[in-house]
Amino acid sequence: MSEPLVTFRNVEKRFDDFVAVRDMSLDIHEGEFLAIMGSSGCGKTTTLRMLAGLEAPTSGEIRIGGRLMNDVKPHERDTPLVWQSLALFPFLTARENVEFGLKMRGMAAAERKRRALDWLERMQIEAFAERNVATLSGGQKQRVALARSLVMEPRMLLLDEPLSALDANLVIRMQGVLTRLQRELGITFVYVTHSQSEAFAMADRVVIMSQGDIAQIGSPKDIYRAPANRFVAEFVGRNNILSGTVGETGGNGLHIDTPQGRFVAHMPETVPAQGAEVSFTVSADLVTLSLTEPEAVNKVQATLISEEFIGSVVTLFFEGADRLEFKVQMQERALLELDLEPGSAVWLSWEAENANILEDN
């Protein structure tokens, strides 16, 4: 693999006593769409701001294209940022906003106007070029903000929760716009968000952060199916988490004794010692529901508590032994056939290879 575009080496950022980013090491590759995800205060925005030069790392190294960037001022970088607030200049028109960066670079007026109009056209908002940005709609502003950054022809575009202010329909549309743009331009996108759906829908790789640490790096599928630790498991998706102690390790997998019974999980790369505390996850959509006791290695009995519909997918919440909550995701159509009502007792089961051992417990 070629030299990464960006490398973080043991980067730490403190604000007085508060550690925003702790000992971060991360490579970002040319042309990838990287999402950094986490709840507020996890350090994701600080990471992005360090990339843009708006914060200087307290220790460690940040390199872009091999160059040490720790003390390079923001305006000497080529890292345009699409702001959460959009930060469009309210006293300028859409076109003037887009021209701003070119003007700072000292480009001749005619040339920068041409480029700005090109980009506005590409974003399909050329009709609003001479309008004051304050009069534009949310989606239009978003496109101006994108055009303003992209007109700089950067190697890397930084995006800080750019879609958080838009309504749901628009978010889906803009996701399409963003992924298409990224593919067409072939440049690196570093996308900070707290929204799992945005990150998983668009990113090649996702970085999950928690309290200044990287919790997991991986493709959306990796993270979804195999959360590395409890934090990720709880943060991402509909995971059922069970904890217990390692029993005997037979040929068919790892045996784990939990209050809900003994389960078999597929053998992880590093085998925990017998008697060790261990947790594992099972994705809600990989749990099978049956009214009668199924022929399965891993099964529990549970009672339906409630249901939650999102589109055609329904999430069922069950209570198992020891008041443990189970989640099961299925198509609404499949649910209708089962004819459940709250209080119904059912069997839940899953395959051993769908049980994913967490690195921590």
Partner 1 sequence: MMGRGLNIFLGLYVGLIFAFVFAPILFSLVFSLNSQRFPTIPLGEFTLEWYVQIWNDEDVWQAVRNSVIVSSSTAVLATFLGFCTAYSDFRYNFRFKGPYLALILLPPTIPLIIMALAMLAWLSRIGLSGQLWSIILAHSVLTAPFAMALIRLRLHQMDPDLEAAAWNLGGSEWQAMRHVIVPFCAPAIVSALCLTAAISFDEFAVSWFVSGLNKTVPIVILEIVQGNIDPTVNAIGTFVFLTSMTLVILAQVIFIGRQIKSHS
Partner 2 sequence: MNIVNRRLDLYALTWRLPIILWQLVFFVGPVVFMVAMSFFVVRNYRMMEAFEFANWERMLTRGFFWDSYWYTLFVASLSATIAMCVAFPAAWALAFRASESVRRWAIFLLVIPFFTSYLVRTFSWYVILAESGVLNAMLGYIGLGPFRMLNTHFGTIVGYLTLTLPLVVILQTVSMANIDKTLVEAARNLGCKPLATIWRVVLPLSKTGFIVAALFCFILAFGDFVAPFYLGGSQEPTLPILILDTTKSGQQWPRAAVVAIMMMLTLFTIAFTAIALAYRKPKGARA
Which residue lies nearer to partner 1 by CB, 69 or 264?
Answer: 69
Q: Which stretch binds partner 1 (CB under 8 A): 3-11, 147-155, 164-172, 338-346?
A: 147-155
Q: Give yes or no for residue 183 binding partner 1 (CB under 8 A).
A: no
* Residues 72 to 91 in contact with partner 2, rule: CB under 8 A: 73-74
**Taking Cα atoms as reference points, which of 199, 204, 202 lies closest to residue 236?**
199
The amino acid at 292: T
> How far is residue 34 from each of residues 50, 54, 73, measured CA to CA in Å?
16, 20, 23
* Shortest spacing between CB 73 and partner 2, in angstroms: 8
Residue 56 contact, options partner 1, partner 2, none, Cβ 5-8 Å cut-off depending on partner type: partner 2
Q: Does 19 bind partner 2 (CB under 8 A)?
A: no
Distance CA 72, CA 247 (A): 55
What is the token pair recorded at 112?
A: 């920068």
- Non-local CB neighbours of 297 within 8 Å, separated by 6+ positions: 252, 263, 264, 351, 352
Q: Which of 26, 54, 166, 181 binds partner 2 (CB under 8 A)?
A: 54
Q: How many residues does the chain have?
A: 361
Distances (CA, A) of 103 to 95, 98, 100, 112: 12, 9, 5, 7
The rounded distance, in Å, linking the Cα atoms of 281 and 354 is 8
Measured between alpha carbons, how far is residue 149 from residues 99, 106, 245, 312 in Å? 10, 16, 52, 38
By CB under 8 A, residue 180 contacts partner 1: no
Q: Which of 4, 43, 57, 80 binds partner 1 (CB under 8 A)?
A: 80
From partner 2, partner 1, none, interface partner of 162 (C-beta below 5 to 8 A by class): none
Binds partner 1 by CB under 8 A, chosen from 40, 90, 186, 270: 90
Q: Pick the closer one to partner 1 by CB: 8 or 100.
A: 100
Instruction: Give dist(CA 26, CA 11) in Å, integer.
Output: 9
67 near partner 1 (CB under 8 A): no
Residue 55 interaction partner, one of partner 2, partner 1, none, beta carbon < 5-8 Å per kind: partner 2
Interaction between residue 55 and partner 2 (CB under 8 A): yes
Q: At what angle do helices 168-185 and 138-150 cross, to 10 degrees?
A: 20
CB of 50 to partner 1, least distance (A): 13
Q: Contact between 85 and partner 1 (CB under 8 A)? A: yes
The pairing of strands 33-37 and 205-210 is parallel
Helix pair angle (138-150, 94-104), 10° resolution: 20
Stretch of 22-30, 68-76, 227-235, 314-322 contacting partner 1, by CB under 8 A:
68-76
Give 307's strand partners. 316
276: partner contacted, choices partner 1, partner 2, none (Cβ within 5-8 A by kind) = none
Q: Which does 79 bind (CB under 5 to 8 A by kind): partner 1, partner 2, none?
A: partner 1
Shortest Cβ distance from residue 41 to partner 2 (Å)? 14
Q: Read off the amino acid at residue 32.
A: E
* Residue 109 binds to partner 1 (criterion: CB under 8 A): no
Strands 188-193 and 356-357: unpaired
Can you tell me the distance from the alpha carbon of 316 to that of 287, in angstroms, rounded to the nearest whole number?
11
Q: Answer yes or no whether residue 75 interacts with partner 1 by CB under 8 A.
A: yes
Minimum CB–partner distance for residue 54 and partner 2 (Å): 6
Under the rule (CB under 8 A), what is the footprint of partner 1?
Answer: 52-54, 73-75, 79-81, 83-85, 87, 89-92, 100-101, 103-105, 148-149, 152
Binding footprint of partner 2 on the chain (CB under 8 A): 49, 53-56, 73-74
